[in-house]
Amino acid sequence: MKRAKLDLFMSLSRQKSVQILIFIGILYIVLVSLEVPFVFKTVSQEGIGGGPQFIPQNEELNLEEEQESPIRPALDFRRLPSNTSTTANDDSKPERRIQEFTHPLSTFNFDGAANSTQILKSAKEAYSLGRQLWDDLSSKSWEDGNSLNPAAALDKKNRTKEEASSSSCPHSIWMAGDEFWEKKGRLMVLPCGLTLGSHITIVGKPKKAHAEHETRISLLRDGQYVMVSQFMMELQGLKAVDGEDPPRILHFNPRLKGDWSGKPVIEQNTCYRMQWGTSQRCEGWKSRVDEETVDGQVKCEKWIRDNDNHSEETKASWWLNRLIGRTTKVSFDWPFPFAEDKLFVLTVSAGLEGYHVNVDGRHVTSFPYRTGFALEDATGLTLNGDIDIHYIVAASLPTSHPSFAPQRHLDMSPIWKAPPLPDRPVDLFVGILSAGNHFAERMAVRKSWMQHMLIKSANVVARFFVALHPRKEVNVELMKEAEFFGDMVMVPYMDHYDLVVLKTVAICEYGVRKAAAKYIMKCDDDTFVRVETVLKEANKMPENRSLYIGNINYYHKPLRSGKWAVTYEEWPEEVYPPYANGPGYILSSDIANFIVSGFEKQKLRLFKMEDVSMGMWVEKFNSSRTVDYVHSLKFCQFGCIEDYYTAHYQSPRQMICMWHKLQQLGKPQCCNMR
């Protein structure tokens, strides 16, 4: 009886389930029939828009603009409708994105620059040249239809380049010494870099020592000299920035004579953006047993350190051991692997964990790979110093072209697009200074700290500020990049270091007039920013206070010689005003607004060093309203420190590494090893 009731209950349940499913199916069909016409209607109305344009200020716009929030200040920026891309996560209504291509300095008047400072004269010339280049690029690139689908166009271009260059990646390269010194300018080009198992063999002979009165490897007093014999072998990468040396992926420096220690040593290191890492010195002592190895090899092998080619065991110890009958292990003592005027065969091989150096068939040293460099980045071999080269052979090289071209660093995925600018004031606006060809640096920022929830939710807004590049092909890629990601502001002048200060003014204008931000932060594209911590630091101060936060220099004197020399015409005073180091500082919006207003009225003094200029402007503002100067070493100027707020000189791979550590460990940790 119970079983019959149970069967009846189950049959009724099945009937109800079938009825519910039928009802859901009918409802789904009705909704789809209503939704499809709406989608087609929306797409037809929006269309596939054109690319960015350079619009003069006095030209009227016949474009539909988004409504402004009543609390946002009136804007002088022009907006253009951007292309809408449909993805799996998109809603049925296409997203309206505020176009970031427009020129933030377009409202500024350069007419009075002819009789003004040298910087304003240069700015006027660069602005005029940049506008011509922008007009030329806009008319040609969009006529070709490249803006319709930048990701597809970029991918097609890269595939064409890769197919065309596949034949230019030889498996091995051979070069005689005469050709290396005279014809190739002491450089062997490795077109496609290195790969696992690649090796380079050098047959050469160190020259005899010569006297030097000025050397960086020894400490000398006036009038003293030292006998020096050394040479440098370097694996170098592509030159990333104009005016800077290319990155040194491996710096191998045997010092036969002349080192400050008085002994022959081998020093190895890396250098990125002209900042050297921590050197690894091999001084004749074998690496400790507890020290990490590289593919099972020690970092430093042992060699004889004294000059009479005997073991380091003293004679007294040797006689004592014989008297007490202590047996010793038989060991082979090798001399320093290089000798003056003696032929050697050196082989550098790329292992799984690092580079290995063998000399005359014997392992000498191993150097672990450092975060920030990859094997494919090693596109050149250079040799300098006291050495004669006989032959160089590079073998087991990659036969396919790696992705080291700047534009290949771009990951054209919708997940890296910036959120649209909100129609409300934001807590913090971060303006990031970037050079035109810094594709990899910008992509690393997008994949690291720009993924913070405060930025993804648009409570904090971050934008790159980029000026035009001298190379047209770079500018074409820039326009495509900016259109796709929506996080770039193009400043329409030809880029130059002395005009970086104009980008800083543009950041202030965008922050107060476009983003209506409470605080404005300026940083560089190789600066890692802890967004939440930086905002908390600013919010510690009382409301309605004028703030200037950063790593502040007090009583800093201008350099009158060297690369960063400042003439008395440029800066007649003996000290600079207090200023925060350029890689990262924060302003309150009232100071930023004061700067923009002063620039528009041509009452703002400009200086080629943008961080010093900011210190001048803040000091002038401070004369009428009190500014709270907040100094913190955690806005790190050089590299990274414990519990940093910002970290400077971080390579793209270091940026990703630091972001992963911050996410996984929940606390900041540096990735100092390159």
Residue 8: enclosing H or E segment and its boundaries?
Answer: helix 2-46
Q: Looking at residue 65, what is its pLDDT?
A: 34
Q: Looking at residue 367, what is its pLDDT?
A: 94
Neighbours of 50 (CB within 10 A): 15
237 compared with 157, residue with greater pLDDT: 237
What length is written for the chain? 674
Q: Looking at residue 371, what is its pLDDT?
A: 65
Q: Which two tokens stand for residue 16?
A: 């109800």
Is CATH 3.40.1160.10 the right assignment for the domain spanning 167-395? no
Q: What is the rounded CA–CA span in Å between residue 156 and residue 542?
A: 54
Class of domain 111-153+416-665: alpha beta
* Cβ-count burial 531-549 (b if 16+ within 10 Å, e if not): beebbebbeeeeeeebbbb
Q: Where are the beta strands (DSSP E) in 318-471?
A: 344-350, 354-359, 362-368, 380-385, 387-395, 428-434, 460-468
pLDDT (tens digit, 9 = 90+) per residue, 336-361?
999 999 999 999 999 988 999 999 99
What distance, in Å, lies between the first and last C-alpha atoms of the chain? 79
Highest mean pLDDT among 36-45, 89-98, 405-414, 568-577: 568-577
List the chain domain ranges: 111-153+416-665, 167-395
Q: Looking at residue 491, what is its pLDDT?
A: 86
402: nearest Cα among 191, 153, 219? 191
Task: Read off the pLDDT of each residue in 95-119 and give the average, rounded to a whole number.
Answer: 47
pLDDT (tens digit, 9 = 90+) per residue, 131-149?
777 777 766 544 444 443 4
Q: State the chain's mean pLDDT as an integer.
A: 77
Q: Looking at residue 615, what is its pLDDT?
A: 94
In the predicted structure, residue 315 carries a pLDDT above the cut 70: no
Q: What is the rounded CA–CA span in Å between residue 333 and residue 310?
A: 8
pLDDT (tens digit, 9 = 90+) per residue, 602-619?
888 888 888 999 999 999
Task: Read off the pLDDT of each residue in 607-634 and give the average, rounded to a whole number.
Answer: 92
Residue with the two structure tokens 């959120």: 419
The answer to whether the 111-153+416-665 and 167-395 domains have the same CATH topology is no
For residue 126, name the pLDDT band (cuts at 50, 70, 90): confident
Residue 674 contacts residue 551 (beta carbons within 8 Å): no
- Helix, strand, or coil (residue 154): helix
Percent of the residues in the chain that have a pLDDT greater than 70, as a whole number: 70
DSSP structural state of residue 572: -
In the predicted structure, residue 392 carries a pLDDT above the cut 90: yes
Q: What is the rounded CA–CA span in Å between residue 247 and residue 646?
A: 23
Q: Looking at residue 429, what is its pLDDT?
A: 97
Residue 445 CA to chain centroid, in angstroms?
8
Task: Read off the pLDDT of each residue in 391-404 and give the average, rounded to a whole number.
Answer: 78
For residue 327, name the pLDDT band (cuts at 50, 70, 90): low
Neighbours of 242 (CB within 10 A): 13
Q: What is the rounded CA–CA span in Å between residue 434 and residue 564?
A: 20
379: nearest Cα among 173, 209, 624, 167? 173
Residue 425: HSE in the Cβ half-sphere, 13 Å Cα cutoff: 14
